[in-house]
Amino acid sequence: MFNQHFSKIFVIGGTGAQGLPVIRALVADNKYSVKVLTRDDTSPRAKSLLALGNVELLVGTLANEASLRTGFHGCDGAFVNIDGFNTGEKAEMYWAVRAYEIALQEEVKFFVYGNLDYASKKGGYDPKYRAGHYDGKGRIGEWILFQNQWNREKMGAALFTTGPYIEMAIASRTIMTPAVEDGVVTWRVPMGEGEMNAVALEDCGVYVRWLFDHPERSNGMDLEVAIAPMKFKEIAAAFEKVTEHPSRYVDTSLEDYWKQREAWGKMPAGYNADPKDQSTMSAKDNFTGFWNIWKYSLLKRDYRLLDEIHPGRIKSAEEWFRKENENGIKLGKGSLWERVQSENQVPILKIGEDGARGKL
Ligand SMILES: NC(=O)c1ccc[n+]([C@@H]2O[C@H](COP(=O)([O-])OP(=O)(O)OC[C@H]3O[C@@H](n4cnc5c(N)ncnc54)[C@H](OP(=O)(O)O)[C@@H]3O)[C@@H](O)[C@H]2O)c1
């Protein structure tokens, strides 16, 4: 029976939107310490992690075997969220496989893979669901669970399958950044009446912590999380209810959505992917598939399981907006209404903060 306790976790993607709450949850009570891979240990995010205590930084890159080996060495757990928006789909898959293999060689005991749904497969391989950043993770997620059938006693493994961060709906430089148009907070995205499985980042920390705390149950598990299935008009209505400012969702055709983003649409979906490589998807092709995943309500979650694992989880957009509004005011960031004004918006993603730059 796999029943072990871990103490030191190697984290890839620790300075990212997802990694920060995961690390906070791991080190909060000193049960775990973490070693975080970063390309830049001088960034404000890297420094904020050091300030938590029980955190050490390793400068390197996920696209280098020596970095991976040094990272996994001496750690008994791993949380691996490979940034597909840097690597592109092809390199993401290669380095995710190598990360799993090197973790095994370095005697890591439990490997948590930051995953996304294998949307093409879940959509019966209909090309309209093709999003490289989903498929690139989802295929490797399946591969890891397959390897785990043989390796589970040596190194346990679990998938942590997320979805779009709800934080992106109020942040700058995301695919769903709002605009305040004549005093109305407006989201123009191509989601029709479909439902999106958005996640709350703070809850991601609790879920990942649970995976490490309960290996006897989580070994071999694909923990697929979300707040609730949400239509975008429900997100806008929740924002209006909490802030008491008019808000709306404008269903937008893919054509109009991309007309507003022509230059970005032509760029590779991964900023270090080779634009001449035929495997490299453009941002337009990639995020067209992404929006279709939600427009046609493709993905499902087991909310009963999530309630059991994390009874205090955020269960609706309204609850998230309410908490975020209160916390924002407490922390001096301002109210949600103030924070969505274009001059006050800030990125939630490190890629947004860095301007999609940095080495592979
Ligand atoms: N945006 C969403 O809603 C969402 C939802 C679920 C999953 N995801 C997936 O999450 C991944 C991105 O993570 P994130 O959402 O946390 O984004 P993020 O805030 O932009 O963070 C990116 C992270 O990746 C790290 N990183 C990038 N290139 C690296 C390299 N070569 N070597 C080592 N570390 C590297 C960055 O670290 P340094 O800059 O410090 O090196 C940073 O920690 C993507 O694969 C995306 O598909 C995104």
Residues 144 and 272 in one domain: no
What band does 1 get if pLDDT is binned at 50, 70 and 90? very low
Residues 38 and 158 in one domain: yes
177 or 6, which is more confident? 177
Mean pLDDT, the chain, whole residue set: 97
Residues 256 and 142 in one domain: no
Cα of 246 vs centre of ligand 1, distance in Å, is: 33
pLDDT digits (tens, 9 = 90+) for 219-270: 999 999 999 999 999 999 999 999 999 999 999 999 999 999 999 999 999 9
pLDDT digits (tens, 9 = 90+) for 44-94: 999 999 999 999 999 999 999 999 999 999 999 999 999 999 999 999 999
pLDDT of res. 84 = 98
Hey, how many other C-beta atoms are within 10 angstroms of the C-beta on 30?
Answer: 9
pLDDT of res. 65 = 98
265 is a domain residue: yes
Between strands 195-197 and 229-231, the pairing is antiparallel
Which alpha helices (H) appear in the chain, and where do they start and end? 19-27, 44-50, 65-72, 84-87, 89-105, 119-122, 132-151, 201-213, 215-218, 232-243, 254-259, 262-266, 283-295, 303-309, 317-330, 336-339, 350-354
What band does 142 get if pLDDT is binned at 50, 70 and 90? very high
Concatenate the DSSP letters of all residues of 191-250 into one string: -TT-EEE-B-HHHHHHHHHHHHH-HHHHTT-EEE--S-EEEHHHHHHHHHHHH-S-EEEE
Q: Provide residues with CB under 6 Å of ligand 1.
A: 12-19, 37-40, 43, 46, 61-63, 81-86, 116, 133, 162, 164-165, 168, 349-351, 358, 360
Closest CA to 352 of 9, 16, 92: 16
Domains of the chain: total:
2
Cα of 350 vs centre of ligand 1, distance in Å, is: 7
| Pocket probe mutation, ligand 1, options 10, 12, 18, 357, max atoms within 8 Å of Cβ | 18
| Pocket probe mutation, ligand 1, options 41, 83, 173, 272, max atoms within 8 Å of Cβ | 83
pLDDT digits (tens, 9 = 90+) for 104-135: 999 999 999 999 999 999 999 999 999 999 99
Q: Which domain holds residue 58?
A: 8-163+199-224
pLDDT of res. 51 = 98
pLDDT of res. 3 = 57
260 is a domain residue: yes
Average pLDDT on 279-294 reads 98
3 is a domain residue: no
309 is a domain residue: no
CATH number of the domain to which 207 belongs: 3.40.50.720
Residues 91 and 216 in one domain: yes
| Pocket probe mutation, ligand 1, options 20, 34, 140, 350, max atoms within 8 Å of Cβ | 350
Which atom of ligand 1 approaches the CA of 162 most closely? Answer: 6
What band does 2 get if pLDDT is binned at 50, 70 and 90? low
308 is a domain residue: no
CATH number of the domain to which 287 belongs: 3.90.25.10
Question: CB-based burial of residue 221 (10 Å sphere; 0-12 exposed, 13-18 middle, 19+ buried)?
Answer: buried
Residues 113 and 134 in one domain: yes
In the structure encoding, which two tokens stand for residue 281, read together? 């998807």
**Separation of first and last alpha carbons in the chain:** 39
Rg over alpha carbons for the chain, rounded to the nearest Å, is 20
Which atom of ligand 1 approaches the CA of 62 most closely? Answer: 32
pLDDT digits (tens, 9 = 90+) for 19-51: 999 999 999 999 999 999 999 999 999 999 999
Residues 141 and 240 in one domain: no
